[in-house]
Structure formats: C-alpha cells, structure tokens
Amino acid sequence: MDRKTISILAVSILVIALWQPLVNRILPPKIVLRTNTVATATSPSGGTNGSATSTSVTDVPASAHAAPFNADIPEQTLSLTNEDAIYTFTSHGGGLKLVQLRHYPAATLCGAEKNVSTNFFATLNADATTAAMTLLGGETLQGDGAFQLTQIDNGVRVEKSLTNGLTIVKEFVLGTNYLISAKTRIENRSQGNILLPPQEWVVGTATPMSTRDKPDSVGFYFYNGDKAKEMQVGWFRSAGMMGCGSPTYKDLYEENQKIVWADVHNQFFTLATIPKDPADKIVSRPIDLPNARDIIASGGGGVTNGLQTSIIYPHTNLLAGQVIEKQFTIYAGPKEYNTLAKIAADMKNELDKLMGFGWAGFVAKLLLLSMNGLHALFGGALSYGWIIILITVLIKLLFWPLTNASTKSMKRMQAFQPQIKELQAKYKDDPTKLSRKQMEFFKEHKINPMGGCLPMLVQIPVFIGFYTMIRSAIELRGVHFLWACDLSQADTVGHIGNFPINILPIIYGITLLYQARIAPVSPTVDPAQQQMMKYMPLMFLFILYNMSAGLTLYWTVQNSLTILQMKLTKATDDTGPGGKTQVQIIPPKKKR
C-alpha cells in the first residue's frame, strides 16, 4: 500500500471520528428550553431500619412551566425515607416527584463531569415537569391540580375533591427492594353520570444521570405480556444525513398495546410502573432539559431531552355513586439483575427484561452471574477489573481448541498457496469449474476453507453477551481500576481541547494492528485487500473509543491473548529451513 493510500485512509478515519463533534460545534442543534425548574426537596435523615420518616410539609413557590396544575398555587412536598431511598411526594398533580437512591451517588468520583442533578444521591424523575402517578385527563380529572398530602403509616395519602363531584384518592405505601404499592380510587359523588376522558397515568420521566449519558441509554420500555420493546430518546430527534441536514423532531410516541408494565430509564436506573390491570396504550413526549446548552457546549453527544411516558386506560361513563379502583406496583431503583429477576419471578411479569440483554441474553446473564460469583468468591477483595480479565482468560481457554485448529488450518492453506494460484490461473476463464476444482483440492489435502470463520461465528454470542452485560452492569459503576476511575465510563485521563484522551482504546488499537499483521491470510484474498485489512482494524478503535473502560479492557485482553495464541501456535509448528511450515503435499492418485 503506497503512502497516498495510507494518507487517504488515515484522513477518512479521522473525519469519521471527529465528524459529529465538529457538526455540533459548527451547526449546534436549536434548543428551545421550557421553564421547568424543579424545586429541591429537603433530604431527611434517619429511617435506616426500613421504617418511613417524614419531613414537615413545606410550601414551595410554583414554577412557571406548563404542567397539569395551576402554577399560581404554592406547591407542598412531603418526603419519606426508608433504607433504600428518599421519596418526595408533591401536591402538584398528587404524585411521586423524586426518588433519591441512598446507596448510589449521583455521580462517580471522576470529577470531570457536570451532573444533570444537583442532588447528592442518584435521583429518578429529576428535572421532570410532572410527577410520577399524576393522573392526566384534563380539568375533568385534574381540576386545578392541587392535591392534599397526608402522612399515613409508612406512606402518603393524596386526595382531592373536584367541583364536578369526583373524588380522587391515591395511597402510596413504601415496601422493600425499592418497591412502592399504590392504590387509586376515582369516585363519582355527584347525582348524575360523568363521562371520564381517557385516564393517563404518568409513569415518570426518563432523564440522563450525567452529561456523558448517550441517547441509546435514555428511553422507556414497555411489555405486552409477550415481548418487551424499548424506545430511545434519539428516536424523537433526527439530525439528517451525517448530522448536516435539517433536524426533524417528533413530539409524540404512541402505541395501542396491552401494557403489562412500562418504565422510564437511563443507563443504570429505572422507574417502572406495574398495573394490576394492564393498560391499553402507551404514550411518550420529549421535554427539554434545563442544561441542554451546557451539554451541547461540552462537545455534543449527550442527551438534551427527557421522555415523559404514560400508560392510558380508555374513557368510561362513571355512574352516580360508582367507583373505579386501580392498583399499581412501582419499582424505583437500580437496574440490578438479581433484584429485578426476583420481582419478575414473584410477579410473573418478566420485569428483568429491563436489563436490555437482547438476543444474547442467556450469555449475558451467565457472564454477569459469573462476574458477581467470582467477586463474592474472593470476598470482594479482587477488583471487578481483575475479574473481567480472569473471565476473559477463562473464555479464551474454553475456545482454545477451536481457535487453535482454525489457526493451523489457515497456515496449512497458506502452505498450499502456490498450488491454489496455479488452479486460479488455469481455470480463470471458468469460475464454476475453478470453484469445483478448489473444493476438490481442499478436500484431498484436508483443508477447511471455512476454518477461519467458524471460531468467529461461534464466539459472536459471547462477544455480544459480554458487550450487553458490561454496558448494563451497575456493579461496574464507580469502580476504579488502574488509571480508570469508573469502569462503566471511558478511561479518560485528560483532554486536548474537548477531545478526550482514553488510554485503553489506544492500547486496543495497537493490539489490533499487530494482530492483523501476524494473522494468517487466505491466499485467495486479493493482495490489495490484504493490505487494506491490515489497517481496517483502526475503524474499530474509533468505534470503541468512547465506550466503557470495562468493555475496552475486555477487548484489549482478548486481543492480547489471541496474539499470544498465534505465537504459541507458530512455535509448536514443525518448521523447516528458513522457517517455512513443512506440509506433505500428497499428489493426486493416477487413474488406471
């Protein structure tokens, strides 16, 4: 490959890597922010025994954002605390305003990122304009939106009497394992019938935990009893071809489905609602985050919108004296597999699909359980970084016979390169006959032309499973390893301008280049393509550059072990003068 080709390739890779930040810098997305300031609730102390404690009910000046309540009425909040979290309820809409998770900090200790939430704890529904479990449906179901809050035993009672004769009551009771039970009651105390519009129960709002959260980590799931479907915040905004076209925005997602449960989530935390009676529809709307401009100014790529998501029941004619009662279970906590799997088993609702393991779910679960099992086996003394390395070594040993046979098959194929080229030259004008003769030659000399592909195909589920497992494993959040301060984020050690310097992906790229140079290449591949394949791995460097340190650690160790295996395979081969592999060429039998 000449210098010109190498230069063009290098410039192309550089353009691909820097394209999106440059576009965001030159043509920043237009942001129209709503005034959606969220009042900060007082964080109470105590309640570590699982019993709820409360702060005093406080008046908070209402914000001016558009919401299903009269903004001129002062807001009241009531906070309860148990072992898991601090739950703040609001009179505006009569729902769950914030959930602050006591065992999880709002940010990891890298110190380089600016947090979306100013709360010390990781907070669900932060920056939302509407509380979870708010009942939307216009003035008929909401009135002025101001509810009365009353503390009950280990919970909160929310109630309101409307001028049309409706009385709405909600009771929230705190449970264990980040669960809340909610009972709701809509009663017609008037003398006539009331036609209720569709009742929209707000699940919550998906918001990022930090400015580094990517659009594919913020979204919502819903489950119809058969399949779980995820929609991400990126669906609501398309930036056009290569980010240069005019952006298009979608203001609403709606789907008529049986809704067994629905959630809003970011990478590691979820707020899920599980109705006792499945809903008939799900809707989601984007809301602008108050720090959207800061996210764009930091280099782009972050999330600038939250997603307010609701489940909907159909309209109904409520007769005089008639009551509608509904029960919900709310999970507000980490996307931790063991906890979600236990709830899924108890309620038989497959809530663990929130982990987003995808089609390689079995492998991802096995790897996650293995990682946590090894961590427990060593009593927590062995860092998750070393456990990732240990698992990678064990996987490599498991596939060693297959990859070893594949490498030897490829080297054997290289040894027969002159004979194969003779066949190609002899039958170059007859592709069909050439293909048949090559297959006869491979069969006669015990060469498997697919030998190089088989190990890769077999290991694809493992690669995908490892990716999805590490991407969603909250166990890696905030875990230090070597210079990486958080295995769930890129191992950034500094910046040149706004460009991060990530060490592990650079080491990974070096191992890729070296592996490409020493790997056996099929003689049937065109020489120009062989040269190109030596530099194509650089593309993977840029694809993985901003991925988590845990993932790039796995790939770097995996590549290093592959290089070691190639060296060992080469050292155990029988070689003759000049280091040439000795292969006995058996001439074809003569026909009598």
Q: Which CATH number fits domain 43-356: 3.40.50.720, 1.10.3090.10, 2.70.98.90, 1.20.1250.20?
A: 2.70.98.90
Can you tell me the mean pLDDT for 158-166?
A: 91
What distance in Å separates the CA atoms of residue 43 and residue 120, rounded to the nearest whole number? 10
Residue 349 CB neighbour total at 10 angstroms: 17
pLDDT for residue 11 is more than 70: no
pLDDT at 446: 65
Pairwise pLDDT comparison (239 vs 249), residue with the higher score: 249
Structure confidence by residue, pLDDT tens digits, 345-366: 999 889 999 888 887 788 888 9
User: Which sequence spans correspond to the domains of the chain?
Assistant: 43-356, 384-569
The H or E element containing residue 95 is: strand 95-105
The two structure tokens encoding residue 58 = 């406080």
Cα separation values, 129 from 65, 180, 215, 266, Å: 7, 21, 20, 17
pLDDT for residue 376 is more than 50: yes
pLDDT at 302: 61
pLDDT category at 431 given cuts 50, 70, 90 is confident
Cα separation values, 417 from 10, 253, 438, Å: 31, 58, 12
Cα separation values, 230 from 216, 344, 445, 464, Å: 10, 18, 51, 18
DSSP letters of 305-340?
Answer: EEEEEEEEE--EEE-TT-EEEEEEEEEEEE--HHHH
Can you tell me the mean pLDDT for 208-232?
A: 84
The two structure tokens encoding residue 326 = 């509904």
pLDDT at 319: 93
3-state secondary structure 395-428: HHHHCHHHHHHHHHHHHHHHHCHHHHHHHHHHCC
What distance in Å separates the CA atoms of residue 566 and residue 558, rounded to the nearest whole number? 12
pLDDT at 63: 32
pLDDT at 530: 58
- Please state the pTM of the whole predicted model: 0.77
Residue 230 CA, distance from chain mean position: 10
Structure confidence by residue, pLDDT tens digits, 121-160: 889 998 888 999 999 988 888 888 889 999 999 999 999 9
Strands (E) located in 379-498: 492-496
pLDDT for residue 32 is more than 60: no
- For 72, phi then psi, to 5°, come to -80, -15
Which range of 204-213, 390-399, 454-463 scores highest in mean pLDDT? It is 390-399
Can you tell me the mean pLDDT for 194-203?
A: 92
Can you tell me the mean pLDDT for 455-483?
A: 83
Q: Helix, strand or coil for residue 458?
A: helix
pLDDT at 484: 86
Comparing 72-76, 263-267, 405-409, the range with the smallest average pLDDT is 405-409
pLDDT for residue 228 is more than 80: yes
Helix-helix angle 384-398:400-415, to 10 degrees: 50
Average pLDDT, the chain: 77
